[in-house]
Amino acid sequence: MADTHAHTTSIGQAEPGHKTGFPPLDPGTFAPQLFWLALTFVLLYVLLKRTALPRVGEVIEERRDRIERDIAKAESLKTETELALTSYERALSEARARANAVAKDMNAKLTAEVDAERSRLDTQIAQQIADAEALIGQEKARAMAGIARIAGDTAGAIVAKLIGKEASPDEVRRALMQRAAE
């Protein structure tokens, strides 16, 4: 039977008259290939386990620690923020209460001042009204006196025109008083 497999005398060179095949698919080289694959895998595994994996583990652990620190710091900041907000709200309510108290105080003071000024002005106006009424009374009395004189003069002139004779001022005054008394 003819051998269809290629035999190589050296790497990459085939014997004359033989075909060359793809070495990984050559059934004659399966066992050595599996041995070297297993050996390479084990060496690579040991190398990774001793060098690369501890470093990766350290990085992962460091990241985990950093995340935990950041979370703890965030919680601490959140607590501080809540305390600051509570303090701010308390201070704001106290300031509002003080502002309301000051506003009420000022309102009471201004109301008292306005009432005192109003009272003073009412007194002043009442005094001015009393003075004006007294002046009006004096002017009225003077006007009435002038009216009596004018009425006497007018009555005397009318009597003189009607009867053709002048009446004495005393007679006219007596007649007007008598008429006013009725």
Q: Residues near 7 by Cβ (< 8 Å), separated by ≥ 6?
A: 14, 15, 18
Domain count, the chain: 1
Domain that holds residue 117: 27-176
107 in any annotated domain: yes
What is the chain's mean pLDDT, rounded? 84
Distance between CA 49 and CA 43 in Å, rounded?
Answer: 10
Interval 15-22 mean pLDDT: 62
Claim: this prediction has a pTM higher than 0.85: no
The three-state DSSP-derived secondary structure of 11-51 is: CCEECCCCCCCCHHHCHHHHHHHHHHHHHHHHHHHHHHHHH
Tens of pLDDT, residues 27-53: 888 888 889 999 999 999 999 889 988
| Radius of gyration of the chain, Cα coordinates, nearest whole angstrom | 67
17 in any annotated domain: no
Tens of pLDDT, residues 55-108: 888 999 999 999 999 999 999 999 999 999 999 999 999 999 999 999 999 999
Has residue 9 got a pLDDT over 80?
Answer: no
pLDDT band at residue 2 under the 50/70/90 scheme? very low
121 in any annotated domain: yes
Q: Where are the beta strands (DSSP E) in the chain?
A: 8-10, 13-14
Answer whether 15's CB lies under 8 Å from 8's CB.
Answer: yes
94 in any annotated domain: yes
Distance between CA 11 and CA 47 in Å, rounded?
Answer: 30
